[in-house]
Structure 1
């Protein structure tokens, strides 16, 4: 399950970043369009929501691979493809950002997340494949 582990590590680091933003860290130029040094309240709430989304993605990924059994199999397969689309959209959105720091930092991260999600959606690294 190296793909799921890599996804978990990257999303864990992004969750720490988003938590720091929500708590007022002056890193806003790397997120949410890069228009604010310190995020306003609505974007801080958005950062907290992002953390919840990251956690849900990790659960879906591990469920898809058979490491945990939380959802029906059909749901986790479809949900993982939704995750792929989410991260693919993230590539586009980050590439369109007016903030150079956000583009340079987040586009490569989004590409890696999209690739990892794609491989997981295909079932690579699943326990069924290992058996």
Structure 2
């Protein structure tokens, strides 16, 4: 169960990385991110924020995979707790955003991610 939860969490992280790449490339998805302030493509500052989130997402995925015992990682256990904490903060922010689109899409997605990380970290 723990390994499956970790794999699913990492898959959500990877899907989010692809979403961020789309934002960087100029896809008109501004309503679904960063508070929905931009209708359409993000400006340069928003694209830079999307780019900065990619290594964070990859760190989170690897930390949860490591916590689940994925071979070859062996990261300290605290990295999984950091990933869980960041995921929970992101979930709360996605539920309180002024963007209805962001709440409808990312609120549930990040809540599921938080639940998966809890499964892994409390196993």
Same fold (TM over 0.5): yes
Task: Verify: 1:46 aligned to 2:44, yes or no.
Answer: no
Give the structure 2 partner of residue 18 of structure 1. Answer: 20
Structure-2-length-normalised TM-score: 0.89
Listed as ranges, the gaps of 5+ residues in structure 2 are none
Task: Verify: 1:32 aligned to 2:34, yes or no.
Answer: yes
Task: Verify: 1:119 aligned to 2:106, yes or no.
Answer: no
Q: Which has the larger radius of gyration?
A: 1
Structure 2 contact 23–50 (Cα < 8 Å) conserved? yes
Structure-1-length-normalised TM-score: 0.84
Give the structure 1 partner of residue 80 of structure 2. Answer: 80
Task: Deviation per CA, 1:43-62: give whole Å up to 9, x if none.
Answer: 11111121111111121122
Give the structure 2 partner of residue 93 of structure 1. Answer: 93
Give the structure 2 partner of residue 61 of structure 1. Answer: 64
SS in 2 for 1:66: coil
Task: Deviation per CA, 1:83-130: give whole Å up to 9, x if none.
Answer: 11111111221111111000111100110010111111124xxxxxxx
Task: Provide runs of 4+ in structure 1 moved above 6 Å.
Answer: none
> Number of residue pairs matched?
120
Listed as ranges, the gaps of 5+ residues in structure 1 are 124-131
